[in-house]
Structure 1
């Protein structure tokens, strides 16, 4: 039940991390409940049938157990004799392991290797769909010709009819499918492939490519609306202030180590023709604004003239001026506006026509205008990248006018949300575990002793991800949560037996030595079998193994340190916490 409580924090995770790790927590909880039922019902029956009666002496132990006893018991005796030295060494190791935490990178989730590269290409908003398709076809041919690692290339231009993601014809998603085992066959990693493709696409003018992976691209967009790893959201009312701030932020981000595909959300580059009314001329010719608007709407935009029926289908017939009569400003100025006085007036005499640039789009979030500066992070962890970026952008953020603010988004936002939730829920779960330990042991001192043992058990997990160069992610945090449950379980097995032997009349030292001698076998066997089961997952290389490896590495290293702590440090702490007197029961 205590291990079930340990996994309660996973049920509080939200969004993507909740969808990934809630099934894991449910599986473990149901497995533990089923194991408990089987242990209380089936195992005793099978044991009574299959287990032979023995005298229970040490002579019944096999060679492995006798070897373990010969190695372990002298170590335990030495640790107990030099108990303060043992505690000092353990504390020093714990301090050293926790001191490497700032050197461990942080990220939301480890990047998956999907065996494909997704390229999001953005052009000017005025790009036509025909031009986009032609250029994309050239990109496809060039990638297939230049890179033997590429198996096929598929591209998508604009938005499909039933899609929910807004994309104009100026945007393309190009999916580059790589051949199986391309790294071993051609000797080039995915990161090197991305850099090579980026250099190859630099010959195409007017495009801004951003690199990701097909699933990661869509997941990022669906969760946060952003296609990159990190995004800086600038909120405010004036679009020009937002644009100016973004143009200051982008070069600073580009100068940070690890930043790639830095881009500003495209809001400019869209031109339109503006008509400024000359009201004096309009009054002189007795022409109102409605007449001018009707002419411009019909001539340039088009108006529905009639409806054509084909069986049960109906089609609106739209009419407008031929292209040569609406192509540029000079031609538009020659359009004739009828006057109530009975003559026609050229449109150029009634209005001033100019071509101006306007925002291609205005994005809003939380009912406030928003502009995004986004980038991907390559070659370093996301946490240190964002920390450095926040330090460099502090002056810009402080100089923002009142009512304007910067918000960090993308995967970093997901990471902060998940870690914040775990920081609140994990301490509550540990408090609940303490209450359950107190009720189980009837001893405040023994319950505290087991919890004091927990930081020592984390040593192995911290050192494992440090030496394996694994970033601290939500997956690794889940591994630490599972590790707490294992450490509590091992500590409970040993401390409850200490108390049981002391209640039977043994002194503290005798109870500790006897309990360790009798419990070293189950503790060793459960740990070794768990390690054997985790070993294939630690070296797995299939799909999704990138998510498993941080979790398994933490548990693998933590199990080793937890076993050492349980068998060496915990007995020493128990002797220091207790004296030879009856256990006080509450």
Structure 2
């Protein structure tokens, strides 16, 4: 919208951006643009010609916007060339004559005036008429070191012609800049196409060079650094996993979640039309740790079931371990995803230029890594993880034999209890199903009456009573 309205003013070069981004770009390359093509050489006219050819080669490339050449306005200038032979005859050296002409045209501070706390310089110079008119300047009289009085036109040639209002230098060389911004396309691929177009259409004379700078240069350096850090993080994660599980196969299976996450990240960037940038690369590196964590949750629980609960390797073990890890994996993934949703919905808002690509990359990777983790990781571990899991289980038993014995005793006691319960339930069932037995009354035996014996004094036997 802004670009269309400003295009109505002919001859006006515009560059649309934000103050913070312009400041950063100027600090990086000295140019307020994302792409700065610097042409170095000696002749200013040749530099301007090469800059116009470079601009023509960049026009029409998709994504290039705000294309312009560094402004160099030609203004009237007085060029004074010293006639060395004539100056030497009257005793002038080129240095002394040049110093005199600089004082006459530019001025020279010869003293100061104090007015209270204010200080004013006293400048010695010619009046405006003699400084701007070549004829009047040529009639100015000079006193030579030998005492001869000569006119300026006798010892120097004064010519009025057009020249640039300023000359930019970098690394002690003259340069001119062709700048541009990039919209609707990633910066890297746009600059690569610009390089190819310039190489085909612009022929550099000997002694002239082209340098590509701006935000692109800083992005290239940051990309190389982040790629090195990303590779280092992947190696560090693998080493940590290998140290913990002592199995390269298990570590590799856990790290399979990384490509699962990259699938979602690339898809999310394609859907949102977000170009690849340093911010998205930061999101990829952050996503590596998040995706690896999900694999650790799954695989660690499979091994836990074998080492701690003494469950043998089977398909049921994998199914049980996967089901028991659905809630933890979903909880961590959903929590992280909910925190990123506000950033994903803030596309185009000021201040979200860096956070938005990071959120898009991480959220897309979370979705695919979580879903594929539930289906692919169990199948891969069941196919390739048996040897490593059984080895870890044996090592755990050797290190903790008492734990194994208790686990077996508990398991054996549970088995016996189950068998006793089954036996008792079987007896009860057989008793309930058997035919009823008729009851027979038991005969009550006759009870003899008690016998009382009394001792007699005369020695007779006592009489017994029934």
TM-score by length of 2: 0.74
Residues 324 and 499 (structure 1 numbering): CA distance in 2 closer, same or farther, change over 3 Å?
A: same
Alpha-carbon deviations, 1:298-318, whole Å to 9, x = none?
A: 432234454433346543322
Structure 1 segment 394-413 matched on structure 2, within 5 A? 394-395=199-200, 399-400=203-204, 404-413=208-217
CA distance in 2, matches of 1:320, 1:368: 31
- Superposed displacement of residue 468, structure 1: 1.7
1:272 equivalent to 2:81? Answer no
Aligned: 1:263 with 2:68: yes
CA deviation digits over 1:37-95, x for unaligned, max 9? xxxxxxxxxxxxxxxxxxxxxxxxxxxxxxxxxxxxxxxxxxxxxxxxxxxxxxxxxxx
Matched, 1:337 2:142: yes
Name 1:538's counterpart in structure 2. 344
Query: Residue 263 of structure 2 corresponds to which residue in structure 1?
Result: 459
Match of 1:481 among 271, 278, 285: 285
Pair 363,500 (structure 1): closer, same or farther in 2 beyond 3 Å? same
Q: Is the 8 A contact 1:508 1:578 kept in 2?
A: no
- Return 5+ residue gaps in structure 2 as ranges: 396-466
2:379 pairs with 572, 575, 578, which one?
A: 572
Q: How does 1:342-361 map onto structure 2 within 5 Å?
A: 344-358=149-163, 360-361=166-167
Q: Could you tell me which of 511, 518, 524 is aligned with 2:324?
A: 518
Shift of residue 507, structure 1, vs aligned partner: 1.6
Give the whole-Å Cα distance in 1 for the aligned partners of 2:113 and 2:314. Answer: 99
For residues 325-368 of structure 1, the C-alpha deviation after alignment (integer angstroms, 9 at most, x for no partner) is 33211111221234678774432233221124555213113x55
Whether contact under 8 Å (1:450, 1:491) holds in the other structure is yes
On the 8 A contact 1:268/1:357 being kept in 2, the answer is no
Judging changes above 3 Å, is the alpha-carbon distance between structure 1 residues 336 and 403 closer, same or farther for their aligned structure 2 residues? closer
Aligned counterparts, 1:224-373, within 5 A:
224-236=29-41, 241-266=46-71, 269=74, 271-279=76-84, 281-282=86-87, 292-293=97-98, 295-311=100-116, 314-338=119-143, 344-358=149-163, 360-365=166-171, 368-373=173-178
Does 2:246 match 1:442?
A: yes
Query: Larger RCO: Structure 1 or Structure 2 (Cα < 8 Å, ≥ 6 residues apart)?
Result: 1
Q: Deviations over 1:481-538 (max 9, x none)?
A: 2221111101001101112223324223122111011111111222223222322222
- How many aligned positions are there? 389
Structure 1 Cα separation of the partners of residues 361 and 99 of structure 2? 71
Q: What CA distance in whole angstroms lies between the structure 1 residues aligned with 2:330 and 2:144?
A: 100
**1:568 and 1:408, CA in 2 relative to 1: closer, same or farther beyond 3 A?**
same
Over 3 Å counting, the alpha-carbon distance change for 1:508 and 1:357 in structure 2 is: farther
Cα 1:478–1:309 shift into 2, 3 Å: closer
The structure with the larger Rg is: 2
1:555 is matched with which residue?
A: 362
* Cα distance in 2 for residues equivalent to 1:505 and 1:492: 19
Deviations, residues 163-193 of structure 1 (Å, cap 9, x unaligned): xxxxxxxxxxxxxxxxxxxxxxxxxxxxx12
The 3-state SS of whatever aligns with 1:255 is coil
SS of aligned partner of 2:274: coil
CA distance in 2, matches of 1:260, 1:489: 43
SS of residue paired to 2:255: helix
Query: TM-score w.r.t. structure 1 length?
Result: 0.60
2:109–2:122 contact (8 Å) kept in structure 1? yes
Matched residue, 1:29: none
